[in-house]
Homo-oligomer: A and B are copies of this chain.
């Protein structure tokens, strides 16, 4: 296909972002010298210090746009839409280890939206702001055929503590803050065609109502791991939030490191067994079977869990793990090696390159 006929869907979101970064290098005020973070990271880091003082903080800024037909399932209430818009943005602040400073929300709503529904969206936004202790500091309202909520969250962090997608070293452990796959299961459970089989399975005690509710809650009422991020800022060597599936995020770390150390051979190995170690795993495995889904496919390639993926130094393994365990729930799922790829060791001992397929907007694939 000639370049002239290319559509944006021929490239997909990640290639489009790379294209923006490449183009920006031609423009004086948009080259790297102004940036303290790699543009593919969860949030931008801005030097906000007066050179005369010793204060060394970054202003952390991140933005995410949610569009009704793409991001809000039909079963999602107006309240939950508002909640989610705050959560996705706060999650990026959490991934940097930062403390929230404020959030701006731009809304577009249909003119014929019932005022009660509008109030419900606002309530969802404000309840989430309260939950994360992040004040709503500004915004904009507009008219459109569908609901659009664009958020920009701002945070603050000591420069030395900011958690980027790179920074890990050989031997570092890789961990996650909670059970993955719950939100993906939740989205499956919301589908009309699955309702009957689920009710029957609960009746027959094949699964518990609790795990069904937990999964639906993860899909409709996601929580950002803000406190976990702040704790990890003092311990982790890198971090990101898991929005597009674990595989995609592992490649984000791998590629971020490569971007800064072209000759680095650092690779990532994760273990199927360790992922299956989560206390809830057996239950969600059963649930996925009933829904005719591969639980690992959901964990690796479907996102929206908003758990944090992080690495930490293994120098003094046990004491760090003990210390961390007192402060937050996490499981170690792998480590940094020097095999220059992202790989998975299956339960049977076989090791393979992990497929990078994750959810990507604007892609034909």
A contact residues vs B (CB 8 Å cutoff) = 3-11, 13, 16-17, 19-20, 23-24, 26-30, 34-35, 39, 43-44, 46, 48-50, 52-55, 57, 59, 61-65, 67, 69-70, 101-102, 104-116, 118-119, 122-123, 126-127, 129-130, 133-144, 148, 150, 152, 154, 156, 361-362, 364
Which residues of B sit under 8 angstroms from A23, Cβ to Cβ?
119, 122-123, 126
Contact indicator B104/A152 (Cβ below 8 Å): yes
Contact among B53, B134, B156, B361 for A53, CB-based, below 8 A: B53
- Say how far A44's CB is from chain B's closest CB, in angstroms: 4
Which residues of B sit under 8 angstroms from A127, Cβ to Cβ?
27
CB closest chain-B residue, reference A28:
B130
Which residues of B sit under 8 angstroms from A57, Cβ to Cβ?
48, 50
Could you list some 16 contacts between A and B, CB below 8 A? A6-B114, A7-B115, A8-B112, A29-B135, A30-B135, A39-B137, A46-B102, A48-B57, A59-B154, A63-B139, A63-B152, A64-B106, A64-B140, A67-B108, A69-B144, A111-B362
Which residues of B sit under 8 angstroms from A59, Cβ to Cβ?
48, 59, 101, 154
A67 to B110, CA, bound (A): 12
Which residues of B sit under 8 angstroms from A11, Cβ to Cβ?
115
Contact indicator A63/B150 (Cβ below 8 Å): yes
Which residues of B sit under 8 angstroms from A43, Cβ to Cβ?
138
A201 to B144, CA, bound (A): 37
Contact indicator A104/B138 (Cβ below 8 Å): no
* Closest A-B pairs by Cβ, 4 of them: A65-B106, A9-B111, A44-B137, A152-B152
Contact indicator B16/A118 (Cβ below 8 Å): yes
Which residues of B sit under 8 angstroms from A10, Cβ to Cβ?
115
Contact indicator A361/B16 (Cβ below 8 Å): no
Contact indicator A106/B63 (Cβ below 8 Å): yes
Contact among B19, B65, B67, B138 for A62, CB-based, below 8 A: B138
Which residues of B sit under 8 angstroms from A4, Cβ to Cβ?
116
Indicate whether A361 sits within 8 Å of B29 (C-beta atoms), given known contacts A50-B55, A138-B61.
no
Which residues of B sit under 8 angstroms from A122, Cβ to Cβ?
19-20, 23
Which residues of B sit under 8 angstroms from A126, Cβ to Cβ?
23-24, 26-27, 30
Which residues of B sit under 8 angstroms from A30, Cβ to Cβ?
126, 129-130, 135-136
- Say how far A30's CB is from chain B's closest CB, in angstroms: 5
Indicate whether A113 sits within 8 Å of B62 (C-beta atoms), given known contacts A138-B43, A142-B70, A144-B67.
no
Which residues of B sit under 8 angstroms from A13, Cβ to Cβ?
141
CB closest chain-B residue, reference A36:
B137
Contact indicator A111/B8 (Cβ below 8 Å): yes
Which residues of B sit under 8 angstroms from A70, Cβ to Cβ?
142-144
Which residues of B sit under 8 angstroms from A54, Cβ to Cβ?
53
Contact among B24, B34, B150 for A150, CB-based, below 8 A: B150
Max chain B Cβ within 10 angstroms of own Cβ: one of A107, A111, A122: A111
- Say how far A37's CB is from chain B's closest CB, in angstroms: 8
Which residues of B sit under 8 angstroms from A133, Cβ to Cβ?
29
Contact indicator B50/A152 (Cβ below 8 Å): no
A189 to B24, CA, bound (A): 34
